[in-house]
Every structure is written in structure tokens, then in C-alpha cells.
Structure 1
Amino acid sequence: MNRFLMSTALACLLAVPAAAATVAEGDELADTQEYNFWLLDAIKTVDPQKNTDVEGSDVIRNLFEGLMNEDAKGAMVPGVASDYAVSDDGLTYTFTLRPEAKWSNGDPVTAGDFVYAWQRLADPATASEYAWYIELMNVVNASEVVAGDKPKEELGVKAVDDHTLEVTLTKPTPYFVKMLGHSSTFPNNQKVIEEFGDNWTQPGNIVGNGAYVLTGHNLGVDITMEKNPEYWEADNVVLTKLTGITVNDQNVGLTRYQAGELDRLQIPAGQYPRLKEEFPDEAVSLPYSCSYAYIVNLSDKGPESLKDVNVRRALALALDRDIIVDQVLQGGQRPAYNWTHWAIEGFEMPDIPMASMTQADRTAEAKKLLEEAGYTPDNPLNLTLNYNTSEDHKKIAVVAQQMWKPLGVNLTLNNMEWKVHTDRMQNQDFELARYAWCADYNEASTFVDYFRSTGKNEGKFSNAEYDQLLQDSVTSENPNDQYKRAEEILATELPLLPIYHYAKVDMIKPYVKGLPRENVMNTWYGKDMYITKH
């Protein structure tokens, strides 16, 4: 890595102080500083090393704090680390931790807490679904520890002293610092986990180092967090209470939003145009770094019919994404023929032939491919699609069902709650599964790495060229060359059926201040927010 660039990054970090809420001139604070936000599903866990969900990350980001945070535009800014230095060869990062950082029980946050957490993430005994993330970070011995071939103590992370953390990488990784905003890298209080075991995340037991503490969690109903007086910047935290309220039906959620029970809600599919006209100061649509697709189970447990790439191609061709985006969703989403979100920083979209075809030509080719595979309306292909509870997911699934049926595909829709859905995906207990991938950091590798043979990759896609491309991308002068080729392989092999790239389509009360509007990651922190008089 270029030394000048590394030293510039360091200078930027030092120049940008970590900041909590900054009340804008002219804003008058409300007497009650509470924020009620919508959750689609129950929060499976608030364990930083075991969470896999976007909504879980939103909660964990308020209960814990990592080395780095994101600002309102997505730039990395200090968290527990006040600064860092990078060795000339780009392989060693030395983080200086702020001495004022404390756990919610008053214990100091130390470098050893990060070492413990990172070892815990990699340790096979933890059985973290995100253990692969530390491999993507290229931490020394990560792959060997995750595989159980080396003890966790040999992971390339160590506490030089209580306030100095040293991380050693196997290769220079330009986006390494961006990866540190992810919840799986957040610290743990070892003595609390050892005392309470699997119950350490329960209210009353959990000890975090974030701006808030967990005070209530009614699974599938609500989750409550209150201001942490031990947080190092507590004096500048304005919101005193955050409450996540689970509402599976977004139409019910909209009613509750309009009744004042929710301050933020994802707009139900198809309602953005009307709500934008009626409530121009509340309805917003922003680019959001998530992609929506149907994952294909290519494992031995998957259906034989989907092992045929021409069948997968037919299914992908027959999906009229313009109808889904323009008539069903209507919120600024974009049709997707690839995996990586178009707004990811630096990403260069490859040329995907399917994207430039007319829908009539796509449908005609889909029909031909299915007929060649032996499937017609008289001899249909029978498939089951799993999806988690949501009216929006159901609407899209019904549309897909209708688009495929005239071509000889009978699609059974199988709805289940989020935890069951993800558990079944993890165990390859599905044929097609609705899924969305949201960027863990703002760089294209966060998308393409999903389909590595050793990635999260629940459909068990495996392609040697693809794996090698991602291996080569880390040290490439222009990794977009590898990313583009990787996307071309995905578009040819189709281990997924891409459907659309997200927009963040929300109703937000005008008195809520401090939510990011210019960060494609849409990463929010309660500590940066406040409520004005209304």
C-alpha cells in the first residue's frame, strides 16, 4: 500500500474528533428525549459476535462501541480508538485506545477486551455464523483458527498494554479500517460472559461499552435501551431512551406511526408516491447499500432441477424487475441484474447482457430454456420459495409466482418468521430463499465475498476462478477488475436470482434529528441524535 495514502488516512483520523449529538443552531430540544423505531422482526441476539442481522446490528451499535464509528457521510471516525498507526508494509495496525472508555459497570475498556472478542469470533467453539468475517479482514492465522487448526491465542491480535492494540495482517488490506465499524469486531467484557454464559445478553446481566444499556427485551415485541452514564462521551448524548418496536405488518406499522407510536418506519411497498405527496417532509427515499435476491440452494440438499444453470437462467430471465420496482415497490429502488449495490463507493458496474435485453426477449428465452430442460405448463417445474414474514416479501413472491407460472413453473410460497428462515438457510434446508445482503462496509468486496466457497454463501456455490479472483483482489492495484469479473461469473452461473437494489424508503418524523442522509450504509447511532419540540 502507498505509504502516503496510509499517513493521510491517519492524519484524517486524528483531525476528525469523535462527536456525539450536535444540536443545530435554532433547534429547540423537546423535554422528552426518546426515539421509537420500527423493527420488522424479532432481534435474534444482541451478542456482537453472533449477530447476523441488520436490525440486530442497529441495536448492538448502540449497546457497544468498536474501534471505529461512521460519521453522517459514512467516513470512518474514532470510536474507542482515538488514533492508529500503520506500518510501512501495511501489515501492522497499532490502535491507541482512549483511557476514558468504560464498560457500563464502570470497568475500563482495555485492549484485552478486543483481543478476547476477536478470538471469540474466530473460535469454532463460539459457532459464530460471522467467523468468516475475520478471515476477510486478513488477520494473521484467522483461517487456521476458524478451521480449528490453530489455537485462538495464535490469532494476529494482541494487547501491547491496556490502551494499545496491535493487529497483524497477512497482506495489505486497503479497506481494513472500514471493516472495523462492523459489530462482530466490537469488544466483550470477558468476566460477564464467563459469569452468565449464554444468558449474558439478558437485561440486567449484559454489560456494554456503548452509549446505551439494555433495559428490556420482550422477544418479538420490543427492545429498550437507556442512556449509559458510564459512556465516555455521555455528557454529549442527548437521547435518553431508544425503543425498537417489532411490527411484522408494515401497514399496521404505518397506522402506529401516524398515531405517534413510532418515529421512523419503512414505508410499505407501493405507498411511497402517495405518502411523499401527502407528507413531503416525512417521506424519504435514499440509496441504501443492500441487494435483494432469491438465493438458490446448490448444495447436495438442493433440488436436482436447480443444478441446471439453464433452469436458473430461465428463472432469472422471466422476472420482470421493472414491474417489481415500478409497480410493486415504487420507492426509488433499482432493478438488479448483479449482486453489488450500484452506489457502493468505487464500484464499476460490469456489462451484463441480460440487463440490456427487452423483457419480451428475456421471457421468450426463458420459455425456450425451460422447454429444452423438459418443463412446460403441462409438465411443470415444482419449486418452493422460503421467505420471512413481511407483506413486501409476500407481494414480490406472488408476482414472481405469476411471472413464472405461464412458463411451466409452479412456485409454492413458504412463509416463516425470520429466525426459522435464517436457521433453515444456514442448514441448506430450502430450494429458493428470499434474502437481502446489506454491506458490512462501503467497498464492493463485502458483496462479492459472500459467494466465496468459504463465505456466508448459504446456497453453497463454489467456483475456483471466482475464489481466486477474490484472493487476487486484495493485493490488486485496481480490485474493480476482479470484482467486475466476479460479478460476470455470478451473472453467468446464477447462484442467485438478483431482483432489486435497495433504497431506504422511510417515514421519519420531522422532529427526529441526526439520522444520516448521505451515508449509503445508513448506519445510525442514537448518540448522534436528538428530538426537537413538536
Structure 2
Amino acid sequence: MNMKTLLATSAIALSLSFQAQAASVPDGVTLAAEQSYTFWLLDAIKSMDPQINTDVEGSDVLRNLFEGLYNEDSDGALVPGVAIDHTVSDDGLTYTFNLRDTAKWSNGEAVTANDFVYAWRRLADPATASEYAWYMELMQVENASAVVAGDMPTDALGVTAINDHTLEVKITTPLPYFPQMMVHASTFPVPQTVIEANGDNWTQPGTLVGNGAYTLTEHTLGERVVMEANDTYWDASNTVMKTLTALTINDQNQALTRYLAGELDRVDIPAGQYPRLAEEYPDQATSTPYNCSYIYMLNVGEKGPEALKDVRVRQAMAFAIDRDIIVDRILQGGQKGAYNWTHWAVADFERPHSEWADDMDQAQRIEKAKELMAEAGYSTDNPLELRLQYNTSDDHKKIAIAASQMLKAIGVNIVLDNYEWKIHTDRMQSQDFDMARYAWCGDYNEASTYLDLMTSYSGHNNGQWFNDQYDQIMADSKTAADPQPLYQQAETLLTDEMPIIPIYHYANVDMIAADIKGLPQNNVNNTWYGKDIYRVAE
């Protein structure tokens, strides 16, 4: 997928690839009488607040309830959302977004540039305590770091409403991928009057006011989310799908059973079952690259085990895990073993050469791992004891069991800890873990979305690996004409220090009902919108 940079001169407004993105029903297709779509969620959604949510599944819901400046099409290219286009100053530091005058909130009020200003200030405000406050810093928005740190007031943030339909953003470093960052939910507008009137309860059904193609009609935590088409949405006339329902089912095999019974229209395929299902249901089983990486994060901070502060132990553990067994025997869905952090399919990225990944086979890695453990004072006769935490999922459990067996062979005894999603993430955020299953899905299709996470200023560096050299590399990448060599340096440093153990790079491995059309298959971010899909008559 090619990254659309959308840079323009100060005098030229760039039009995006389409003037609207909506369900595109081919001629001759007969639509089903009932336009409803039911999809699966593994875990309860922690928050319906765009500035608070941190979860991929939460973002899937928020993308339907709210709309940012831009959306993505089925290939991952940017298309207009609330913004119809933008201009960029000659120095690349000032973006001016032109907003459509037909955008409305679900209560009928107009969406204005001030709604974005309020949302972005709210995201950066320390009082909001958003885990995504750092996103304003990643976007290089003027004064973001000082605002996030509490050293400057929120109105110092470099975002201004020139008028109701013109939004100006000042950044400190030219970023060719800056417009792509606008598709992230944390940048979506929110209604100030509704939030101030209702406080934390503003996200409840019947109270939540959004500007997306759907409104929230039901949210039973850990059970279901129901959204109905929003008739005030600017492109409501082109929205075919009328009802979106998300069902939370913690057991993946149970979810598949309910899909096969016709209760779900889309579900992840459990580990190991793709080959069989692809043969039995060739028109429903799919596997495509997905911009997410699966790792074990190691707690190297003050609250972490002393043993994990030894780089030899960290490297040994990474060497000992056989990724071929995990992807070829356990997952079997087109995933690829990971020997680095950034997903292989990210635009323009090339993994740097590394000795352990490219010059050793697995037998050699295991021998090296045993040597490193012996140097650190551990062996099968004198094992290191660690706890591995993962969130509830049969797939995560299978991988954790396999990893624990692999690590036992080099003198690491693993105790498995299973928690439901909220507790799992809360424990990680408070550094209450030894090692933990973690996955990161790119916020945009560019390597920095992964590599920035491991900086000391990241809101998600829960293992608390802080490295000044790494921070400087990533800082330098923001001003480099070509950041790719610096990204390779960052990946090499991660390999040398191994604060995370890469396990595999994701694929989207789904069952999708044959009569559901319009879901993206060529977008590595898997960014989907209910307004773009439809159900055909059988």
C-alpha cells in the first residue's frame, strides 16, 4: 500500500482521492432487505471517549460514532472526512484544513473547527490523563510537549480555529505522513457542551453525541454495543448499513461456533483452524497482512525483576523462542515470525540485517541462549523464575504455553498469569508484571508508529526501557530527509538491548459472511467503516 503524503504548497489546496467515501454498490446488485452487521469483540471496550480509548477494538467502534478530519478507503488511501482538503505552507510547518459546512453532530448542531481545537487541547491536557496525550507530541504539534507536561496552558497548543470551517495546525517539524495521523480516534472532535454537562457519563447511550455515521443506542459492558445509522451525518443518504452490533465473546472457539450458527457476520479465526476453514468455506475464510506486531514486553524498570535488567537474559529469552513453531503449527493463518518490532508490511520499511535473525538457525539460537544464561548465572539446574501475564484468549494461552516450554529448555521457569483485558492493561500500566503479552497495531502506515512507542516519553512504554541513544535516533528521524536509515538504527538498538521479545507479525485471519460486502481487504491497517459496507440478497 502506497502512503499518501498529501503535501501541498501554500497556494494550492489538495483535493483527496474522492469527494466522499460511502458504500459503493455495483450496478445489478440486489441489496438484502435487512441491512445489519454483527461483528465480534474479544474484550469489553474500556471507554467510548475518543481521547481516552487505547484499544484497537474501541477504535473500530469510535470510527463509526465519530469522524475525524480524514478517513481511509479500502486501500488505505486518505479520503475526506470532516475536512474536504488542506493546504501546507512552503516550510511544511503550517497545515490549514478546510472543513465541510454540512458536518453536524447527532443533536443537529454544526461541527466546527472549535470542536477539534477543544478535543486536541483536551487530549494534551494533563487533567484528562490520556494515555494518548503523547500522540500530540508525535504529531509535532507546536508546544505539545510543554502542554502535556503541564508547563504551558492548553491554549498554547498549536491548533487554532480561524473560523468555523477553517482549522490551522502548526507543527515544529515537517512530517510527510502528518495527514495520515488524522485518522486516529484520539484526534476526533468531541462536543464540549455535552461533556461539560455530563462529565464522565457523556459516553452513555442516549447521552453520547457524535458526528459519525452512527449513533450509540446500547452499550452493555462486556456484552454488546449497538449502533444505528445517524440521519444527521453529512453523507447519511449514502449509508446503506442501518445497524451495527458488536458482541463481546471472550472465547474464540465459542465465537466461531456462533458465527457458523449465523449469529455473527465476522469473527477472527482461532489459531490453527484457518487451513481447514479455507478449504470448507473458501468464500468466507480470509487472510491478509495486518499492521500489528505481537511481543512479550519485559519489565526492566524499577519494579521489574532484577534478572531482566541483564541484557544477556533478555537476549537469551528472545533467542530461545521458536517462531516457526508458533506461526506454522499453532497459528497457521498466514502470520510471519517476528525478529524485530515494526511490521514487515509497513510502507517503505526494510528490516535491518541482524545476526540472530539472519545468520543463525534455531538450533544455533538455542545454544547461544544457553551460553548467555550460563554467563548470567542461570541454567536448567539453577533456573530463573518469571511470571508471564496474558489477557484472556485461547490463542494467547496456546502461545504462552509453547513459549514457556521453549524457555524452560534454557533455564527459565515460567508461571502463567491470565487476566481479563482491563486488569491485564492496568497491571501493565502500573508495572505490576515480569513479562507480558502485548501487541501494537500501527496508528498509521509508517514505521515511526512502532518505533516511537519505545521512547522514554511514550505513553505506552510500560516496560520502562529508557535509552538516551534511542530517544536521540527517533528525535533525529523527525527532521531527516529520509528517516528510513534511522529507523533501521532504532531497530538494531532494540535488537541489541532486547527490551521486548518479538513473536510474530499479524495477519487478518477472519471468517466474513459471504453476503457482507465492502469490508477492506487491501488496507494493511484494516480500517473499516460501517457506512462503506452493505449486505446483498442471497
The TM-score normalised by the length of structure 2 is: 0.97
State the match for 2:44 in structure 1. 42
Match of 1:496 in 2: 500
Q: For 2:357 and 2:417, how far apart are their aligned partners in 1?
A: 29
Match of 2:512 in 1: 508
The one of 394, 417, 437 equivalent to 2:397 is 394
Given that 2:114 and 2:164 are in contact with CA atoms closer than 8 Å, whether structure 1 keeps it comes out as yes
Distance 1:10 1:503, change over 3 A: farther
The equivalent position to 2:347 in structure 1, one of 325, 345, 348, is 345
**TM-score normalised to structure 1 length:** 0.98
Alignment equivalent of 1:476, drawn from 474, 477, 480: 480
Change (3 A) 1:5 1:109: closer
Distance in 2 between residues matched to 1:526 and 1:342, nearest whole Å: 28
Equivalence map 1:513-532=2 (5 Å): 513-532=517-536
1:15 positional shift: 4.9
CA distance in 1, matches of 2:54, 2:310: 30
Give CA-to-partner distance per residue, 1:274-331, whole Å, 9 cap, x none: 0001111110000000000000111100000000000000100000000000000000
Residues 471-480 or 266-275, more deviating: 471-480
Query: Are 1:249 and 2:251 an aligned pair?
Result: yes
1:275 to 1:10, Cα distance in 2 relative to 1, 3 A? farther
Q: Which residue of 1 aligns with 2:429?
A: 426
Identity of aligned residues (%): 63
Match of 1:92 in 2: 94
Quote how far apart the aligned CAs of 1:9 are.
13
Aligned to 2:298: 296
In 2, the alpha carbon distance for the partners of 1:125 and 1:475 equals 30
The counterpart of 1:362, out of the listed 362, 365, 377, is 365
Greater shift after overlay, 364-373 or 106-115? 364-373
The CA deviation string for residues 122-159 of structure 1, in whole angstroms up to 9 with x for no partner, is 00000000000010000000000000000001000010
Give 1:83's match in structure 2, choosing from 65, 82, 85.
Answer: 85
Name the amino acid aligned to 2:337. P
Is 1:415 paired with 2:418?
A: yes
Which amino acid counterpart does residue 419 of structure 2 have in structure 1? M
| Cα shift readout 1:85-131 (whole Å, capped 9, x = no counterpart) | 11111110011110100000001000000000000000000000000
Q: Give the corresponding residue for 2:385.
A: 382
In the alignment, structure 1 residue 103 sits paired with structure 2 residue 108: no
**Structure 2 counterpart of 1:475, which letter?**
T
Query: What letter is aligned with 2:497?
Result: E
Letter in 1 for 2:115: D
2:140 maps to 1:135:
no
Segments of 5+ residues of structure 2 without an aligned counterpart are: none
Report the equivalent of 1:331: 333
* Aligned pairs (5 A) from 1:240-279: 240-279=242-281
* Alignment deviations for residues 482-517 of structure 1 (CA, whole Å, 9 cap, x no partner): 000000000110110000000000000111111001
Q: Is the 8 A contact 2:140 2:171 kept in 1?
A: yes
Q: CA deviation at 1:183?
A: 0.2
AA matched with 1:524: W
Structure 2 match to 1:115: 117
Give the corresponding residue for 1:282. 284
> 1:139 aligns to what SS in structure 2?
coil
CA distance in 2, matches of 1:26, 1:262: 26
Can you give the 5+ residue segments of structure 1 that lack an aligned partner in the other structure? none
Aligned to 1:221: 223
* 2:466 is aligned with 1:462: yes
Q: Do 1:337 and 1:355's aligned partners in 2 also have CA atoms closer than 8 Å?
A: yes
Match of 2:67 in 1: 65
CA contact (8 A) 2:123 2:130 kept: yes
8 Å contact kept, 1:13–1:76: no
Q: What RMSD in Å do the two structures reach over aligned CA positions? A: 1.3
State the Cα deviation string for residues 386-436 of structure 1 (Å, max 9, x = none).
100000000000000111112211101000011111111111111101000
Output the CA distance in 1 between the equivalents of 2:379 and 2:91.
59
| Match of residue 240, structure 2, among 238, 241, 244 | 238
Report the secondary structure of 1:6's partner residue.
coil
Is the 1:62–1:526 Cα contact (8 Å) retained in structure 2? yes
SS in 1 for 2:461: coil
Aligned to 2:438: 435
Give the distance between the partners of 2:401 and 2:507, measured in 1 at CA: 21
Counterpart of 1:210 in structure 2: which amino acid? G
Instruction: Say if 2:32 is the partner of 1:30.
Output: yes
Number of residue pairs the alignment of both structures matches? 532
Given that residues 139 and 167 in structure 1 are in contact (C-alpha distance below 8 angstroms), is that contact kept between their aligned partners in structure 2?
A: yes
- Aligned residues of 1:85 and 1:93 also touching (Cα < 8 A): yes
Q: CA deviation at 1:12?
A: 5.5
Residue matched to 1:179:
181
1:171: how far off? 1.3
